[in-house]
Structure formats: structure tokens, C-alpha cells
Amino acid sequence: MKKRILGKSGLEVSELGLGCMGLTFGYGPATNEADAIALIQKAYELGITFFDTAEAYSQGLNEQFLGKAVKSFRNNVVIATKFGFKEGDATKGVDSSLERIRAVAEASLKHLNTDVIDLFYQHRVDPNVPMEDVAGTVKDLIKEGKVKHFGMSEAGVDSIRKAHAVLPVTALQSEYSMFWREPEKEIIPLLEELGIGFVPFSPLGKGFLTGAITADTKFDEKDFRNMVPRFSEENRKANQVLVDLLKTIGVENKATPAQIALSWLLGQKPWMAPIPGTTKIHRLEENVGSVNIILSSNELSKINAALETIKVSGERYPAAMQKMVGK
């Protein structure tokens, strides 16, 4: 698999990464440890060298699975993890107090069984802690050799500028896909201006762009999509028009809807590295196959023109979660 550099940072990652969240958090029961490790190691065999986790994904369990999986090839991969929630629990609100940042760094190093965190993201902006102080604390961790690069997640323009003035931000991780194109308005132009890489999460629209989800799909009771307005039965039905577009383009390119969705993302900017997640080996292999599908500039233009005619129905987050993004 080809490599990409995240912005001007010099941090080299595989053009497609692996989002590990779903292995233990968010989409139903946790995957057992052996299967999680097998999937991560298979991703590495397929060329993925960029792995994303967080304290908030099961308070360290996700990090532990990742640490065990990459132990034998740790020096060949980039590990990203995150701080920023009270007690590592997203339901308890944000906490980027300086003591908390340091405590999470120490815990993550232990859980990951590593000497250094390659990319340390602030998971969500904390309005109670000056961004300059957050960036300054991570800067100290870098000086101490515990962290290599600083990242932000779902941050807004002002926060990114403030942080970047103190410590160059290597990457922003935010949701971006055909299903959520909001970053195109302000965020992507800012990242280009400042030389910051972009790591789109949910590049397959939380699974919707695979074509496997219909109006009749029933989610596990622990699946957070049950709370997401965009995934109501009515909105899933309305949004099938987007999947239909992907299927049409897929037929023309001998590719699946998921592969077209990822190829479209990879074609946006050379400093983007999407991190689709999955718990299934066959889906992992399908996702990796997207790097071999190169959409021409003409095809990308046709797709973008078609996207302009499609209005996606439903908010991407419940109101309480929406308050924590774009700050």
C-alpha cells in the first residue's frame, strides 16, 4: 500500500488506516480479544500501518488489544490515541485539564505497551481549558519523549488556529464522507492553509455507504446508531439514493459501494488518510481493495455534481453530542 504524509508534519502513514473503535465500543458487544488481534494483524499484512484508538473506547481495553496485536512490529506502525473525556468516558463530558492530559498519556503508554505515542489527539475541545494550555501540555510531553505528534478531533477553525500557533498540529481527525461533507466549507481549506493532515473517520458513513444497511436493518441494542437521527428508519429509507449512486459507479468500475466511497475520499487531497473500521476480515479486505481503484478527475467531477443534487436526511449526532463538535 502507498504511503501519505499528513500535512507538513513529516508523519508518514499508510494511505488507508484502521479505526479500531468498533472492536470494543459503539457498535454492539465487544469483539473477543483473539479476533480483535487477528483483525489488526491482518490489516498490517494487507499494508495498513496506521492504527487509531482512544482511551474513551472502553477505558483502555481497545488500546490493550491494539498494543498486543502490534507488539512484534511496533516500530513499523503509527499508533494514534486520544485524551479529553472525564474518566475516559464520553458520556461524562469533556476534560482536558492539564493533569488529565498527563494521566491519560501515562495510562495509554502502559495500555499500548509502548514507549511513545506517535499521534496524541485531543478527542474533543474542552471550552473550560484554554487551547494554548492544552497545546502547551502536549508540547511538554513531546519534549519528554512520550509523544511524537499532536492532533485534534472534531475541532473548529478558531481552536485549530489557537493550538497551531503554540504547537504545530499534525492532523485533524473529523467525520468526512459522501454522507457528511461539512468539512469542505471551512475545515479543509484551513488545513490546506496551515499544512495540517486530515484523517477522516466514519468514511463509510458509519456503515451506511457499504450498501448493507437498509430501512429494515435492526441494530444491536448497544449500537449507538439507534440514537443517531440520520439512522432513523425514515431517514435510512430517504438516504438510499446515495447508496444507489455508489452502486451505479461501482458497476462501472467493478467495485463495491464501499470501495467507491473510499476511493472518492482518497481522491480529494493527497494529505488525507481515511480510517475505516470493521470487525470483519472480509470487510477489511474489501476496504483495502479501494486503494487500487483510482477514479479519474472526470469521474470525480461527475460524482461531485451528482452529490450536489442529493440532500442527506437527518442530523449526524443527537443534540447532546452535537454540542461537543466544531468548537
Which SS3 state, helix, strand or coil, does residue 76 take? helix
Which SS3 state, helix, strand or coil, does residue 119 take? strand
All residues at 6 or more sequence positions from 122 whose CB lies less than 8 Å from its CB, including other chains: 82, 83, 84, 96, 134, 138, 151, 152, 153, 155, 163
Residue linked to cell 481527525: 173
Q: How far is CA 86 from the centre of its chain?
A: 21
Residue 27 falls in the annotated catalytic set? no
Element (H, E) at 117: strand 117-122
DSSP assignment letter at 83: E
The long-range contacts involving 217-223, CB below 8 angstroms and separated by at least 24 positions, are 219/28, 220/27, 220/28, 220/29, 222/27, 222/28, 222/29, 223/26, 223/27, 223/28
Q: Which residues of 243-255 are buried (b: 16+ CB within 10 A; e: fewer)?
A: bebbeebbeeeeb
Is residue 84 a contact partner of residue 94, using CB atoms and an 8 Å limit?
Answer: yes
What helix, strand, coil percent values describe the chain, rounded to 5? Answer: 45, 15, 40
**Active site residue: 57, 121, 176, 317, which one?**
57
Q: Which residues of 197-234 are buried (b: 16+ CB within 10 A; e: fewer)?
A: bbbbbbbbbbbbbbbebeeeeebeeebbbeebebbbee
Enzyme catalytic residues: 57
